[in-house]
Amino acid sequence: MGVSVGTGLDLLLDQVMVGDCIDLMRRLPPASVHAIFADPPYNLQLKGDLRRPNDTLVDGVDDAWDRFDDLPSYDAFTRAWLTEARRVLRKDGTIWVMGSYHNVFRLGTALQDLGFWVLNDVIWRKSNPMPNFRGRRFTNAHETLIWAARGPESRYRFNYAAMKALNEEVQMRSDWFIPLCTGSERLRDDKGAKLHPTQKPEALLHRVILSCTAPGEVVLDPFLGTGTTAAVARRLGRRYIGLERDPGYAAAAMARIEAVEPLSETAALTTAGKREQPRIPFGHLVERGVVPPGSILVDRARRWSATVAADGSIRCGRAQGSIHQVGAAVQEAPSCNGWAFWHVEQPGGRLRLLDEYRVEALGSQG
Amino acid sequence: MGVSVGTGLDLLLDQVMVGDCIDLMRRLPPASVHAIFADPPYNLQLKGDLRRPNDTLVDGVDDAWDRFDDLPSYDAFTRAWLTEARRVLRKDGTIWVMGSYHNVFRLGTALQDLGFWVLNDVIWRKSNPMPNFRGRRFTNAHETLIWAARGPESRYRFNYAAMKALNEEVQMRSDWFIPLCTGSERLRDDKGAKLHPTQKPEALLHRVILSCTAPGEVVLDPFLGTGTTAAVARRLGRRYIGLERDPGYAAAAMARIEAVEPLSETAALTTAGKREQPRIPFGHLVERGVVPPGSILVDRARRWSATVAADGSIRCGRAQGSIHQVGAAVQEAPSCNGWAFWHVEQPGGRLRLLDEYRVEALGSQG
DNA sequence: CGAATGTCTGAATCTATAC
DNA sequence: GGTATAGATTCAGACATTC
C-alpha cells in the first residue's frame, strides 16, 4: 500500500499544480504514478489555443477551423502529452483516456502507436443526454473511455471482485450507465452559471478509480478541470496529482477537494478476490491436521478417490502429485484447481469441498 | 427513388462478386452508391488458447483473413479500401464502418484523414456477449459502428422519423441494444458448425439500412461475408452490391439472399432491438452518492446494522457481501431480498426502505 | 406434456508466482 | 529472464434432455 519514497514524488502528492501539463509532467519522476485519468480538450483552434467541445449547435457558428490543418496539430498535441504520461506511469500502471467521436479515434491511435496496450474501450452511456435538436443525427448519448496498460506485458491491476460487487455479483460490462453531472454536484458561480463546460460526474470517476487502484496509490490527472478526479480519489483514500492550465479552474478544484471528507478505511475497503488473499499450500492443512494424512479425497460425483500423503501430495491409482496435478491427470484435463475439485467425506456421508477448509484456515489466521 | 442509369452500374446491381474488394470497387463508377456498410477484419491478434472455467475451448477467430503483420500494414489496408469506397460513394451518401477496440481507432482515424465527416459513433450493445473468463478485464460487451458522410458539406440522408418510430417515438440514441446472431439465424454447415465466425445479426443491419437509405437505393458491402447486408437490403426493398473474397462465403451468401422475400413497402418498420428491462444494482446507488459508502443500513427492527463499502458490498460483523447475501446470512435464511430488508437511517430518526431509493433511481433514468 | 435441468456457445488482444 | 506450477475464472440464450 505504500508509495515509493525518496523519488521526490512525495512533495507533489495531493496537490493541484497550475500550468501546462506537459511541462508539469516533466517534473515528475519516471514510473511514479499508479493510474492516470485524462479528459483532454477535444479540439484545437487555429491559433493553437485549446478549445472545449462546445458543440456547433451551442455556439451557433460553423466550424471556423480547417479540419485538415487542425487534425495534425491535435495529433501532435496528443502525442506530446501521452508521451510524458507514459514516462511517469509505473510499469504496471494503467491509463484512462476519454473522448467523443470528434477526438477519440485520434486518442486511441496515438495510444497504440506509443506502445500502450488497450485493455477495454468503455462506453459511458448517459441517462440524460442532450437531444439532437435538428433531428439530423442519432442522439449522441455516450462518450468513450479507453483503458490501457503501459504495454502488452504489463501486469496491471484490475479489481475484478470489487467491480463485480458493484454490479450485484455479475461481471462488470464495458457499457456503463451513469447520469450526467447535474444538480447540486455541478459547480456554479454566483450567478448560477456552470463553472466548467464538461464537468464529469463523480460516479464515473468512482468506478474508474475503484477499478484499477488500491488505497494509498497515486492517481494523476493532467487535465484536472474543476477537480472531479482528485475529489473522488481523496474520498476513496487514494493520493492524487492534479494538473490544470486555467488558474480559475484550478482554484475551484482546490476549494472543492479541500471540502472532501475521506472515507473511513473500512468504508473505502472493497471486496477482495481470491487473487488478493494470501496463499495457503495444501500441505499446511495436512500438517495442521485439518486434513490429516490418510484422508480420502473424492470428486463431487465420487468418480475418483485419492489418498492424502504426509507431505501434502495425493495419490489416485498411478497418478501422484499435488491436488491440482492429480485432479488434472484423472480428468485428462490440461489443468485443474484442486481446491475446487476435491472433497472430503464427512461423518454424515456428506461431502465438503476442500476450498471450504482453506477459507476457514484463512479466517483463523487473521 | 430511381437509380442513376447509364453509368454501367445497373448491370452490377443485386449481385455478389467474388474477389478482392479493392479491385472490384475499381470497376464501379464513381459516386454511384448511396450507402456503404463495411465490417472489415478486426486484426484481433489472438495468441494462445482460451478456455472457459469448465475447461472447454473457446472457438476464437484465427482465420488467415484476420492476420496482419503489424499496425502499419493494417493501416495501409484500411486506407486503400476506404479510398476506393469514398470514390464510389455518392456525394450525399454515407458510410458505416464497424469494429472493436482492436481496430476501430485505426478505422476512425483513417476515415477522418481521408476527408469523411463523422456523424455519429454508434454502440452496438450486445445483450449476450461472451464473458471475460479470466476476470482480467471488463466484459467486452459492445462493438462500435462509425457513421460518416462523404464530407463536411454533405447533404446526407437520415430517416429521422423512421428511427424515432423504431424507438417507440423517442429519438433514437447512439447506443443500440441488440442480441448476437445465434440460433436459427446463424448459418451452419451440415455438421452444425458456424459457416462464418463473425456473422452479424440482421436486426443490426435492419436499423443501419433503414436509417440512411430509401427504397430502391443502392447499398454496397465490400466485406459481405455470408451476406447479412445484402439479405436485409433485399428484404427492405433496397438494391445491393456485395463483394467477398472467399468463394465459400460468397456462395453461402448468394443462396441466402436468393431465399429472402422482399417486404411490401409498408411492412418495413417492425423489427426493433431487444427491449431492456431496467435494472439498478445497489452498487450504482453507492457510486452515485444516493447511498454513499460508509452509510449504515439496518433492518426494520434495528436488530442488525451493516456498513456500506465503496464497491457496494456491505459488512455486518463477519458477514460480508451483497445486500442480499448479508441479509440472508444474519437471518440465517437461505435467501433474502436485500432491497426489502435493509433501511437507511433518516435525519429525523426515521427509517427509509432501500427499495424506495431503487424505485426513485429507476424513475429518473427513464 | 409441461416444467425443470443440463449442455453448448459467442469477433477474446483473458494469470501469477516461485524458482 | 525462462520455466514450472499453483490455482483463478462465466453470462445469456437457444436448444436438448429428463422428470
Chain A contact set for B147 (CB, 8 A): 138
CB of A306 within 8 A of CB of A316? yes
CB contact under 8 A, B173 and A138: yes
pLDDT tens-digit series, residues A181-194: 999 999 999 999 99
A115: which DSSP letter? T
Least confident range from A14-23, A39-48, A71-80, A240-249: namely A39-48
User: Which string of DSSP letters, residue by residue, matches B6-45?
Assistant: SSS-GGGTTEEEES-HHHHHHTSPTT-EEEEEE-------
Cβ-based neighbour number of residue A162 at 10 Å: 25
Length of chain A: 366
- Distance CA(A35)–CA(A205), nearest Å, equals 12
Mean pLDDT, all residues of chain B: 94
Q: Is the pLDDT of residue A62 over 50?
A: no
pLDDT grade, residue A365 (50/70/90)?
low
Quote the longest CA-to-CA distance of chain A: 83
Given a cut of 60, whether residue B366 has pLDDT beyond it is no
The average pLDDT across B13-39 equals 98
Whether the pLDDT of residue B168 is over 90: the answer is no
**Spatial distance from the CA of B198 to the C1' of D11 (Å):** 19
A288-334: pLDDT as tens digits: 999 999 999 999 888 899 999 999 999 999 999 999 999 999 988 88
* Angstrom distance, B105 CA to D3 C1': 37
Contacts of A132 in chain B (CB under 8 A): 171
Average pLDDT over residues B337-343: 97
* Shortest CA gap B85–chain A (Å): 20
Quick: pLDDT tens for B215-264: 999 999 999 999 999 999 999 999 999 999 999 999 999 999 999 999 87
Q: Which amino acid is at B324?
A: H
Query: Which nucleotides of strand C are protein-proximal, with an atom < 7 A from a CB?
Result: 8-17
pLDDT by residue (tens digit) across A217-274?
Answer: 999 999 999 999 999 999 999 999 999 999 999 999 999 999 999 999 989 989 999 9
Which amino acid would we find at residue B109? Answer: T
**What is the model's pLDDT at position B98?**
98
pLDDT, average across residues A33-58: 64
Look at residue B6 in the predicted model and tell me its pLDDT.
54
d(CA B15, CA B254): 8
Contact list in B for residue A127 (CB cut-off 8 A) is 364-366
Q: Give A-chain residues touching B289 at CB under 8 angstroms.
A: 185, 202-203
Please report the pLDDT score of residue A350 as a whole number: 83
Q: What percent of chain A has pLDDT over 70?
A: 90
Segment A50-76 shows an average pLDDT of: 56
CB distance B283–A122 less than 8 Å?
no
What is the pLDDT at residue B46?
93
A98 CA to C1 C1' in angstroms comes to: 55
Angle B114-B95-A107 (CA atoms, 0-180°, nearest 5)?
55
Cα A344 from chain centroid (whole Å): 39
Higher pLDDT, B169 or B200: B200
Which contacts (CB < 8 Å, 24+ apart) does range A43-52 have?
Answer: A43/A70, A43/A74, A43/A102, A43/A103, A44/A70, A44/A73, A44/A74, A44/A77, A46/A70, A48/A73, A50/A245, A52/A197, A52/A198
Helix (H) or strand (E) holding A165: helix A160-166
B239 grid coordinates: 438494391
Of B136, B281, B320, the CB nearest to A167: B281
Residue B334: predicted pLDDT: 86
| Rounded mean pLDDT, A24-44 | 92
For residue B299, the model assigns a pLDDT of: 98
In angstroms, the CA A351 to CA A359 distance is 16
Please state whether strand C lies within 7 Å of residue B47 at its CB atom. yes
User: Residue A5 — pLDDT band, cuts 50, 70, 90?
Assistant: very low
Of B336, B334, B295, B345, the residue nearest B315 (C-alpha) = B295
- The per-residue pLDDT for B7 is 63
A146 contacts B283? CB cut-off 8 A: no
Burial zone of A85 (CB within 10 Å; 0-12 exposed, 13-18 middle, 19+ buried): buried
Q: pLDDT class for A362, splitting at 50, 70, 90?
A: confident
Model pLDDT, residue B268: 56
pLDDT value, residue A25: 98
Those residues whose C-beta lies under 8 Å from the C-beta of residue B309, and which sit 6 or more positions away, are A165, A266, A267, A268, A269, A270, A271, B293, B315
* Protein residue closest via CA to C1' of D14: B183
Angle (CA) B195-B201-B204 rounded to 5° is 150
Chain A 182-241 residues in 7 Å CB range of strand C: none
Residues 127-186 of A with CB under 7 A from strand D: 160-161, 164, 169-171
Q: Which contiguous run of DSSP H or E holds residue A208?
A: helix A202-212
Residue nearest to nucleotide C10 (CA to C1'): B130
Whether the CB of A109 is less than 7 Å away from nucleic strand C comes out as no
CB contact under 8 A, A163 and B107: no
Q: Dihedral sign for Cα A151, A157, A161, A164, please.
A: negative
| pLDDT for res B344 | 98
Mean pLDDT of chain A: 90
Q: Chain B residue closest to A145 (CA)?
A: B101
C-alpha cell belonging to residue A349: 456421508
A146/B123 Cβ within 8 A = no
DSSP string, B250-307: HHHHHHHHHTPPPPPGGGGS---PPPPPP---HHHHHHTTSS-TT-EEE-TTSS-EEE
pLDDT tens per residue, range B259-286: 999 987 656 555 556 678 888 999 999 9
Q: Are A165 and A271 contacting, i.e. CB atoms less than 8 angstroms apart? A: yes
Asked if B130 CB < 7 A from strand D, the reply is yes
pLDDT tens per residue, range B83-111: 999 999 999 999 999 999 999 999 999 99
Residue A1 pLDDT class (50, 70, 90 cuts): very low
Q: Assign B211 a pLDDT band (cuts: 50, 70, 90).
A: very high
> What is the three-class DSSP state of A11?
helix
Do β-strands B296-298 and B305-308 pair in parallel, antiparallel, or remain unpaired?
antiparallel
| The pLDDT of residue B276 | 81
Q: How far apart are CA B329 and CA A161, in angstroms?
A: 20
